Chain A
Amino acid sequence: MRREEMTYLEAIRDGLRHALRDDPRVVVFGEDVGRFGGAFKLTAGLQEEFGEERVFDTPVSESAILGGAVGMGLCGLLPVAELQFVDFGMTAFHQILANAGTTYYRTANPVPITVRAPCGGGFGGGPFHSEDLEALFSHVPGVKVVYPAFPSDARGLIYSAIFDPNPVIFLENKYLYRRVKQLLSEQFEPEDLGAARVCRDGDDAVVITYGAMVHEALQAADELTAEQGYDVMVLDLRTLKPYDRDAVLAAAAATNRVMVVHEAWRTCGYGAEIVAFVAEQVFHLLDAPPVRVTAPDVPIPFAPSLEAAYRPSVGKIKRELLNLIEY
């Protein structure tokens, strides 16, 4: 079978293309996504291929984009709305919290929408173009939250998200867009929402993570093996809500030492849920207190010197892993 090297960004585009081909109900829209191809050129070529009825630009109106998506989903389309940056989705958060999240529960009418949102920093974007808001979305009942780390997952998950009968917030990491590549074949199987994956085996500790931090964790684990002989498991959650509880418990049971790493803020961050869940369920299996490696509770700083200190790094993860293993 023919295989092609694809970046994370190209893989998402390919997933969108497959969905647009496979089902005429799929529509893709947002600010500048049409002929221009979006701020990151992720949707480049889709309007040419599928026409302006299927792939279209909107005014700068996030409430109209998200609220409009809810209406489209309710009445027979499969909308894929793009937020130019996740940060700007906050001007319409009520559309997710109130409309998308509660409608099925209240009325039994499904809201099969997908909201794509570029997240994350590491490129000098400053406080309003670097946010990671997965904890806010994951707090909302009735929505699913996906955050892939690899091109193959990104493609399979965007496809599944589009055909899931629920609102899915599909978080994309900008830092990964052009940095990670994989050889992918033209045909693919959709990935199950809600399934984590062990992407590195080990029994000395587990790093539970997602998005860009999967790559930092893998590198930290490799370096620890080379330098100290420790074997660290890395569990990529892939879906943050509902998350794969079995996989989390199995990883905790197999390693007895649990670390969660995320790029987002610490207090009430996503890691707090995982650590609480592990503590509630398998406290007796733990050989050390669980550890969170996160950004501190400060607005995301612009200057390179500050942002480097802000973002969890391979070095920081390694240091904390050593402390955890040698606790």
Chain B
Amino acid sequence: MLLARRTEERLIRLYHQGRIFGGVYAGIGQEAIGAATTLNSRPEDLFSPLIRDMTVHIGRGETVLNIFRQYLGRATGPTGGRDGNVHYGNLSLGVLTMVSHLGAMLPVIVGAVIARRRRGSESIGFAYFGDGASSTGDFHEALNFASVMDVPVVFVLENNQYAYSTPVSRQYRCRNLADRAVGYGMEGYRVDGNDAVGLYLFVQRLSRKIRHEARPVLLECETMRMRGHGEHDDFSYVPKSLLRKFSRRDPIVRAVKTLVEAGVISEEDFSALDGECRQEVDRAYRRALAEPEPDPATLEEGVYAPRGNDLS
């Protein structure tokens, strides 16, 4: 969580300094969700993170260096500069690479989990998406599909109160989005998405259960988008009182408090960890910056996979 926070803070600074080409979309305030889920995952599990999910990438072992390479459009990065910012993944870490179309990754991860399981692995899936994406047709089709096919996917709904400028009151009219689970014949839960420790314990039980039962589940995590939709957006449409309320529930501050009180870590441990994270971010940024941009001569390469290239 801390490494993701420090990485995003640096990306935000770079954006406002004009040093990032394209946009920056941050998941600040939502770090607990990716952390609690990836910490409960196994190597064979599959993930489809979206734009607020830096902690999913880091939780699955992606390096900060690769993340900076991606944002700087470097030839050495996960997409080789062919795509930018949040559009990266790493199939060898079980992380699918998103497209921008909201909802579109949900059927994809259902299919991916089906394939892994047909081929004998015990994979389950974790699919991340927002309150806005819950209004797409793909959302409905994917949940119904997973349910009918008995595919164990945790549909992690990050309800961060806004879809761009649109508040949840203009997005849906059920009381809780988790209630929709009933309509798909699966279980639905609504939990505090900013309580990393509580969420970790909850997902621990939940993931055991769905591994065992091979059933999908809808997990609505209540949280808050603490920045604009992207860094270009001043989010003046978000009431300050709402931001204040959630800044008191900052997932990192809360987790540290819980862990210090429980005697798991000390304040000094935390400071030391923070120092390390900052150093890692610095090092990664500087190194990525020195690496080359893609060569325009490669523009038309790699549109089709060569024969015999069915990576699995």
A-B interaction? yes
Seen from chain A, the residues whose Cβ lies within 8 Å of a Cβ on chain B are: 31-32, 35-36, 39, 57, 59-64, 87-88, 90-92, 123-129, 296-299, 301-306, 308-310
List 8 contacting pairs A-B, 8 Å CB cutoff, sorted by A.
A31-B164, A31-B166, A60-B135, A61-B135, A124-B22, A126-B87, A302-B79, A306-B296
Q: Is B165 an interface residue (CB 8 A)?
A: yes
- B82 contacts chain A at the CB level, 8 A cutoff: yes
Please state if A127 and B83 are interface contacts (CB–CB under 8 Å).
Answer: yes
For the complex, would chain B's binding face be called helix, strand, loop or mixed by DSSP majority? loop
Task: Say yes or no: B294 contacts A57, CB within 8 Å.
Answer: no
Determine the distance from Cα of A309 to Cα of B296 in the docked complex, in whole angstroms: 6
Which of A60, A297, A306, A309 is the most central at the interface, judged by chain B CB atoms within 10 Å of its CB? Answer: A60
Q: Which of B73, B82, B136 contacts A299 (CB 8 A)?
A: B82
Interfacial chain B residues near A31, Cβ < 8 Å: 163-164, 166
The chain B residues found within 8 Å of chain A, CB to CB, are 21-23, 73-75, 79, 81-85, 87, 99-104, 132-133, 135-138, 163-166, 170-172, 237, 293-296, 298-300, 303
Contacts of A88 in B (CB 8 A): 100-102
With A91-B101, A303-B294 as given contacts, are A124 and B21 in contact (CB-CB < 8 Å)? yes
Distance to closest chain B CB from A132 (angstroms): 16
Expressed in whole angstroms, the Cα–Cα distance for A35 and B303 within the complex equals 41
A22 to B87, CA, bound (A): 44
* Cβ 8 A contact of A60, one of B74, B136, B293: B136
Which residues of B are found within 8 Å of A310, using beta-carbon distances?
299
B contact residues around A57 at 8 Å (CB): 165-166, 170
Q: Which of B101, B166, B293 is packed against the most chain A CB atoms within 10 Å?
A: B166
Tell me whether B133 and A302 are in contact (CB under 8 A): no
A295 nearest in chain B by CB position:
B299
Query: Are B132 and A59 in contact (CB-based, < 8 A)?
Result: yes
Contact, CB under 8 Å: A296 / B21: no
Instruction: Please state if B79 and A87 are interface contacts (CB–CB under 8 Å).
Output: no
B1 to chain A, nearest CB (A): 27
Interchain CB contact under 8 A, B299 and A301: yes
Nearest residue, chain B, Cβ from A61: B135
- In the complex, what distance in Å separates the CA atom of A190 from the CA atom of B165? 33
Evaluate contact between B299 and A36: CB separation under 8 angstroms.
no
A129 to B102, CA, bound (A): 13
Contact between B237 and A35 (Cβ–Cβ < 8 Å)?
A: yes
Identify 18 new A-B residue pairs, CB closer than 8 A, beyond the known A35-B165, A127-B82, A304-B73.
A36-B237, A39-B164, A57-B166, A59-B171, A60-B135, A92-B137, A124-B21, A124-B23, A125-B22, A127-B99, A128-B87, A298-B299, A302-B82, A302-B84, A303-B73, A306-B81, A306-B82, A306-B298
A61/B137 contact (C-beta < 8 A), A124-B21, A302-B79 known:
yes
Task: Knowing A59-B166, A87-B100, say if A305 contacts B293 (CB, 8 Å).
Answer: yes
How far, in Å, is B24 (CB) from chain A's closest CB?
A: 11
B132: contacting residue among A60, A123, A125, A297, CB under 8 A = A60
- Give the nearest-CB partner of B303 in chain A: A298
Report the Cα distance A252→B69, complex, angstroms.
48
- Report yes or no: B299 in contact with A304, Cβ–Cβ below 8 A: no
Task: List the B residue with the shortest CB-CB distance to A304.
Answer: B21
* A91, B137: Cβ atoms closer than 8 Å: yes
Closest B residue to A124 by CB, please name it.
B22
Are B100 and A129 in contact, with the CB atoms below 8 A? yes
Q: Which residue of A lies closest to B165 (CB)?
A: A36
In Å, the complex CA distance between A306 and B300 comes to: 10
Which residue from chain B places its CB closest to the CB of A92 in the assembled complex? B137
Q: Taking A87-B100, A91-B137 as contacts, is the C-beta distance between A298 and B165 under 8 angstroms?
A: no
Distance in Å: Cβ of A296 to nearest Cβ of chain B:
5
- Please measure, in the bound complex, the distance between the C-alpha atom of A282 and the C-alpha atom of B81, giving whole angstroms: 44
Cβ A32 vs Cβ B136 within 8 A: no
Contacts of B138 in A (CB 8 A): 91
In the complex, chain B residues whose CB is within 8 Å of the CB of A64: 135
The answer to whether A60 touches B102, judged by C-beta atoms less than 8 angstroms apart, is yes
| Least distance between A48 CB and chain B CB atoms (Å) | 14
For residue A298, give the distance in angstroms from its CB to the closest CB of chain B.
5
Q: Given A36-B165, A59-B171, answer yes or no on A91-B81 (Cβ-Cβ < 8 Å).
A: no
Q: Are B73 and A302 in contact (CB under 8 A)?
A: yes
Question: Which B residues are in CB contact (< 8 Å) with A298?
Answer: 299-300, 303
Q: A304–B79 Cα gap in the complex (Å)?
A: 14
Collect the chain A residues with CB atoms within 8 Å of residue B132's CB.
Answer: 59-60
The 9 closest A-B pairs by CB, nearest first: A303-B81, A36-B165, A128-B100, A303-B73, A59-B135, A302-B84, A124-B22, A309-B296, A60-B132
Complex Cα distance, B172 from A60, in Å, reads: 10
B73 contacts which chain A residues (CB < 8 A)?
Answer: 302-305
**Minimum CB distance partner of A302 in chain B:** B84
Contacts of B75 in A (CB 8 A): 303
CA gap between A64 and B138 in the complex, in Å: 12
Interchain CA distance A125-B103 in the complex, whole Å: 19
Question: For B102, what are the chain A residues with a Cβ–Cβ distance below 8 Å?
Answer: 60, 88
Most chain-A CB neighbours within 10 Å: which of B172, B296, B300? B296
Closest to A129 in B: B100
Contacting residues, chain B, for A92 (C-beta < 8 A): 137
Contact call B296/A308, Cβ cutoff below 8 A = yes
Closest chain A residue, CB of each to CB of B102: A60
- Kindly state the separation between the CA atoms of A46 and B83 in the bound complex, as whole angstroms: 35
Query: Residue of A at shortest CB range from B293?
Result: A305
Assess A302 versus B299: contact at CB under 8 Å? Given A32-B164, A59-B132.
no
- A187–B9 CA distance with the chains assembled, in angstroms: 49
Q: Please give, as numbers and ranges, the residues of chain B lying within 8 Å of A124 by CB-CB distance.
A: 21-23, 84
